[in-house]
Amino acid sequence: MAEFSKYLKLTGLMMKNCLVREMQFKANFVVRLFTETMWLVMQFIYISVMYGQTGQIAGWNMWEMVVLAGTNHVIAQLFEALFYDNCMRLIDQIRQGDLDFNLIKPINTQFLVSLRYTDYASIVNSSIGIGIILFALGKLGLGITLGGVVLFAALVANSILIYYSILFILSVWTFWIGRSNNLMELYWQFGQFSRYPGEIYPWLLRRLLQTLIPMLIVSNVPAGVLIHKLQTGLIFYGFTLGVVFLALTAWIWQRGLQRYRSASS
Amino acid sequence: MTTAAPTAQNRSPLHKYWVILSTRTQEDMTYRFNYVFGAIFRFLPLVTMIFLWYAVYMGRNMAPINGMSFKDMIVYNALMYIARGFSSVPGTMNDISKDIKDGLLNRYLIKPMDYFGYQVMYRLAHKLVFWYIALLTFPFVFWFMSASGHYFTHWPTLWEALAFLASLVIAFCVGIQFCFMIGNLAFWFLEISTFLFVVMMLEFFLSGQLIPLNILPQWMHQFLFLSPFSYEGYWPCVILMGKVPQDQLLPVLGRGVLWVGVFYAAVRVMWRMGLKRYSAVGG
């Protein structure tokens, strides 16, 4: 328990440290909020053009699709806030041997390198996603229960961890191949698959996106809870997948560390 | 003293641009696996696109949208990769505005060459390597699309093929000149990164990359089809797809050339006016 509170306290300290740094560039928040909103407007135009041609896409109506887009936005932004930068930095640390400084600290290194930096602008941005979800739910005439909110939040957290696991594994790859910046591009490319309903994909691709590259689990399952479009089985499956992926990161991290060659000395 | 090799004096004045092109190409080739990787995975969004639009068309019993059938829609999105392979020159706006803001322009100004000539060669080298790799992957994708779904229903006529090639040249010229124009704004404004983002979004939409321009509402057509951005994506695609009547090919291309001219003039004027304000910080 003492161990747990130590980690909790450390997380608080690291986040506070980043907040102090970010507050020096307050205008940055406004800029990021603006650019992300533009990006969402583009997505909304795309969705509305498609629904201008048909009332239903693979059994989803327009506002249900907007709930999905909003959910996806919340998850992606929170993931980027907590982990994206850290994974990018990790690649350089491994390659340049800077990992030494983290390895000598009396704390779990995976924890430290994964959570060191927080991007607050992305946290602010995720609130637009919540606004969009609420607006779309209003249009659908759907209410939300307290239980629904709790389940949704838990699933969102789970999705963020799955995203983290995938990107962390891609970064740790650096131990073996020396440079994996290109692999990080995969994050943006895979992200494409999570934006739309799983029902549009043929059987094989859909199964692939629910297991090996679980892009459909991360967005479709939490959104499904809000619009009552889900089997309970998938919720349990999603949580299990989160645990499995997280365990996998720890295992690969240990294997990778054995290959670490430190700095040039 | 006479030597067999050409001396600096008797070389063509264009020789220096050739040197830039060739060094830059060699430099980019060093990282060719970077391109190979990109060339394969860039097609992943096309997969989503095919299934998404299939679901949309299923919802309307495969009825065409403004003359665009389902297969047209997919071919359009695939051809967009070719068009954007010519018109998009990533990093150009940023690099130019940075050169201006940070005073890095100095090192180009003192050299006996044209800054934009240098930029064109630099970006052209990038495009050459891009296409060298793309020629290995693009034909496979197109072959696969043709074999698996028979998407390509129109075989272009000779005129359409020629107009397509011309439109790709126009696409490159419009794309790069536009970047020069926006980059030049750094002479007047210190911080333009937000503005760059907005501009790139607009370009993304107005070029027809997001949605084919011809399925957007009718009242927007006049503006969309005449805008210079349509040459960065929309026109090359629809020309090769046979959606432009033969007697319209020349007028369409003509307007494109006109835009290239207008952009060129704008870049030069901005450059002259900008240099007068240029303070060469850090120099």
Report pLDDT digits (tens) over A167-201: 999 888 888 876 666 677 778 788 889 999 999 99
pLDDT, tens digit (0-9, with 9 covering 90-100), for A20-59: 888 887 777 888 888 888 889 999 999 999 999 999 999 9
In a domain, B186, yes or no: yes
Tokens of B244: 């432009």
Average pLDDT for chain A: 89
A182 touches chain B (CB under 8 A): yes
**What residues make up the domain containing B152?**
15-277
pLDDT at A265: 45
Q: Which of B68, B236, B221 is nearest to B161 (CA)?
A: B236
B65: three-class secondary structure by DSSP: strand
Task: Tell whether B204 is within 8 A of chain A (Cβ).
Answer: yes
Tell me if A74 sits within 8 A of A130, measured CB to CB. Answer: yes
> Does position B253 have pLDDT exceeding 60, yes or no?
yes
Give CA–CA dist B223/B267, Å, rounded.
Answer: 23
Q: What residues in B contact A196, CB-CB < 8 Å?
A: 48, 51-52
Q: Which of B59, B193, B198 sits opposite A57 (nearest CB)?
A: B59
Contact B194 A195 (CB under 8 A): no
Q: How far apart are the first and last CA of chain B?
A: 40
Closest by Cα among A201, A204, A241, A243 to A221: A241
CA distance A222 to A151: 8
B215–A49 C-beta distance less than 8 A:
yes
B5 falls within a domain: no
| Domain contains A264 | no
Residue A186 to residue B204, Cβ atoms within 8 A: no
At B150 the pLDDT is: 84
| A204/B contact by beta carbon, under 8 A | no
> How many Å from the N-terminal Cα to the C-terminal Cα in chain A?
39
Distant-in-sequence, close-in-space partners of A14: CB < 8 Å, separation ≥ 6: A115, A116, A117, A118
Range of the domain at A235: 2-257
Q: pLDDT tens for residues A145-175?
A: 899 999 999 999 999 999 999 999 988 888 8
Q: What is the CA radius of gyration of chain A?
A: 20
Q: Decide if A42 and B205 are in contact by the 8 Å CB cutoff.
A: yes
Residue B248's pLDDT is: 95
What distance in Å separates the CA atoms of residue A219 and residue A197, rounded to the nearest whole number?
A: 9
For an interface test with A, which of B195, B197, B213 has the most A Cβ atoms less than 10 Å from its Cβ?
B197
Instruction: Classify residue A45: in a domain, yes or no.
Output: yes
In a domain, B1, yes or no: no
Contacts of A34 in chain B (CB under 8 A): 194
Q: How many domains does chain A have?
A: 1
Is residue A187 in a domain?
A: yes
Predicted confidence at residue A181, as pLDDT, reads 62
Q: How far lies A26's CA from each of A79, B45, B193, B279, in Å?
A: 21, 35, 16, 28
Report the C-alpha gap between A221 and A209 in whole angstroms.
Answer: 12
Q: Which has the closest alpha carbon to A64: A214, A219, A213, A210? A: A219
Closest in A38, A49, A57 to B201, CB measured: A38
Residue at B145 is within a domain: yes
Q: How many contacts (CB atoms, under 8 Å) link A and B?
A: 74
Choose from B36, B40, B53, B56 for mutation: most chain A CBs within 10 A: B56
Q: For residues B17-56, b (16+ Cβ closer than 10 Å) or e, as one string? A: beebbeebbeebeeeeebbebbbebbbbbbebbbbbbbbb
In a domain, A263, yes or no: no
Instruction: Please indicate, yes or no, if residue A117 is contained in any of the structural domains.
Output: yes
Residue B266 inside a domain? The answer is yes
**pLDDT of res. B5:** 56
| B64 phi and psi angles, rounded to 5 deg | -65, 155
Averaged pLDDT, A191-218:
91
Instruction: Report d(CA A95, CA A175) in Å as an integer.
Output: 8
- The mean pLDDT of A64-88, rounded to a whole number, is 93
In this prediction, residue B244 carries a pLDDT of 94
pLDDT band, residue B6 (cuts 50/70/90): low
CA A165/CA A169 separation, integer angstroms: 6
Q: Does A193 lie at the interface with B, CB-CB under 8 angstroms? A: yes
Q: Testing the interface with A: which of B34, B36, B51 to mutate, by most A Cβ within 10 A?
A: B51
Using a CB–CB cutoff of 8 Å, tell me whether A56 touches chain B.
yes
Q: Which residues of A205-231 are buried (b: 16+ CB within 10 A; e: fewer)?
A: bbeebbeeebbbbbbbbbbbbbbebbe
- What the block records as the tokens of B256 is 């494109």
Domain contains A262: no
Of B104, B117, B138, nearest to B35 by C-alpha is: B138
What is the model's pLDDT at position B228? 96
Q: Which residues 102-161 in chain B show a CB within 8 A of chain A?
A: none
CA distance A76 to A219: 9
In this structure, is the dihedral angle defined by the CA atoms of residues A17, A19, A20 and A22, taken in order, positive or negative? positive
Does A127 have pLDDT greater than 50?
Answer: yes
Most B CBs within 10 Å: which of A28, A29, A31, A35, as the mutation test of the B interface?
A35
Confidence of residue B31 (pLDDT cuts 50, 70, 90): low
- What are the chain A neighbours of B204 within 8 Å (beta carbons)? 42
pLDDT at site B256: 97
Q: Of residues A95 and A221, which shows the higher confidence score? A: A221
Q: How confident is the model at residue B197 (pLDDT cuts 50, 70, 90)?
A: confident
Chain A residues with CB inside 8 Å of B52's CB? Answer: 50, 57, 196, 200
Q: Point out the residue among A45, A55, A196 whose CB comes nearest to the CB of B52.
A: A196
Per-residue pLDDT tens digits for A7-18 = 889 899 998 888
pLDDT tens sequence across B123-152? 998 888 888 888 888 888 888 888 887 888
- Tell me whether residues B37 and A31 touch, CB distance under 8 A: no
Position with higher pLDDT, B44 vs B9: B44
B219 touches chain A (CB under 8 A): no
In chain B, the number of structural domains is 1
| Dihedral (Cα; A166, A168, A174, A177), 10-degree rounding | -10
**Closest chain A residue by Cα to residue B60:** A54
The mean predicted confidence, pLDDT, of chain B is 88
- Asked whether the beta carbons of B209 and B42 are under 8 A apart, the reply is no
By C-alpha distance, the chain A residue nearest B196 is: A35
Distance from CA of B246 to the nearest CA of A (A): 29
In a domain, B27, yes or no: yes
ipTM of the complex model: 0.86
- Which of B44, B60, B201 is opposite residue A42, by nearest beta carbon? B201
pLDDT at B1: 45
Q: Is residue B8 part of a domain?
A: no
